[in-house]
Amino acid sequence: MDNATPMPRVTPQCWSEPIPQPPTALADTVSARLTTLVLDVAARVGVSPHETAFISDLAAGQDNLDRVPTSAQHRLWEILHASGGPGVGLQAARLADVGRLHVWDYLLTSAPTLAEGFVDAAQYLSTVADPALVLSVMPDGPRLTVGYYGARYSEAVDWEISEFALALLLRRAREARGAAAIPVRVGFAHRPPKRHGYLVDEFGTGNIHFDQDADTLTFLDPDRSGSTQSGDPELSRIMRVYARSIMDTARPARSWLENFREVLLTVLSTGPATGTILDEVAQRLSMSSRTLQRRLAEQGTSGRAEIEAVRHERAVRLLLDTELPVGSIAGQLGYSDHRAMGRAFRRWTGQTPDAYRKCARN
């Protein structure tokens, strides 16, 4: 390991077309597909489902447009590092078969050359990652260097994500170019581990350096004659169009608390079939009442506070946006009659529902 080997600072190349700017809606989020990949690794290394429930609920059942908070993803990596130890980032890359990250995978593998594939992967990285992260592509004669860098979180998390990112990029490069995609140099921004033999095995080279400006892979003439040519220019164009549409229409996933409140409102409007309101909500969320109370406490709230908040918000909206009589609104909110709702409404606002409606509309 020779940390003194000079390495040019990685900066983005001049793109042949304008770099698509990710919509602001994607800020501080990552793809739910990326999250489910990391959750699979967590399950494999024995992380308790209870430890990952805070994010598994967000990622479960999400489609290619859904996003989850980056902060939650970072917390998941933190748990994974503590449970799995060094190398869990590499395990995530091994699970990332082509298609696991949807369109982004095919951007890289369908391009005519590896350099063009990396450019496309860089331009549309936000289809899977936080827009704060950047891939740079730096050709230099027969050499091609790809750099990964962005906002830092914590040493443990950055360590695992860096190794995952470079291992994933190398895997896609090998899938696209075959034996020609052999890195001649690997650079990591994190400090050197006590032993890095596992990285030598993974990347196929001992020329690995640490404490660098960015995480980088350098290939030597990866598109030379005889490499595996799997590029399809038309498919590549279609993938770029599709990637752009995903970036334009992606949406942050609803939080667990938002999902809970929607179910709570449904139960309030229909009335619990058996037991209490929270018992019915817990049943619909496929968890025990005790687990539900614990999850609410983790969110800094309680069942009673949430029932009050949902009733208050919904009552105000129905009073202002509809002509429904107070008795009908009371029924939709699970009150026994309009008098019970009236008492609660005076507690919230100091007014009766009718007075509040009249005052707000004048």
* 213 domain-assigned: yes
Helix residue spans in the chain (DSSP H): 32-44, 49-59, 70-84, 88-95, 103-109, 114-123, 155-177, 197-203, 233-249, 256-270, 277-284, 289-298, 303-321, 326-332, 338-349, 353-361
| Same-domain check for residues 128 and 276 | no
Above 90 in pLDDT, residue 149?
no
* 7 domain-assigned: no
Extract the tokens encoding 139.
């050709």
Q: What is the pTM of this model?
A: 0.70
| Same-domain check for residues 187 and 242 | yes
* 291 domain-assigned: yes
| Same-domain check for residues 48 and 132 | yes
| Same-domain check for residues 245 and 269 | no
- Domains identified in the chain, total number: 2
pLDDT of residue 295: 84
Of the residues 252, 286, 302, which one is the last residue of a structural domain? 252
Q: Taking phi first (over 0 means left), then psi (-120 to 50 degrees means alpha), and beta for anything else, what does residue 95 get?
A: alpha
Per residue in 196-230, pLDDT tens? Answer: 999 999 999 999 999 999 999 999 988 765 555 55
Mean local confidence (pLDDT), 49-70? 75
Residue 173 pLDDT grade (very low, low, confident, very high; cuts 50, 70, 90): very high
| Same-domain check for residues 247 and 130 | yes
Mean local confidence (pLDDT), 127-151? 90
CATH number at residue 297: 1.10.10.60
The whole-angstrom separation of Cα 359 and Cα 361 is 6
Domain that holds residue 263: 256-361
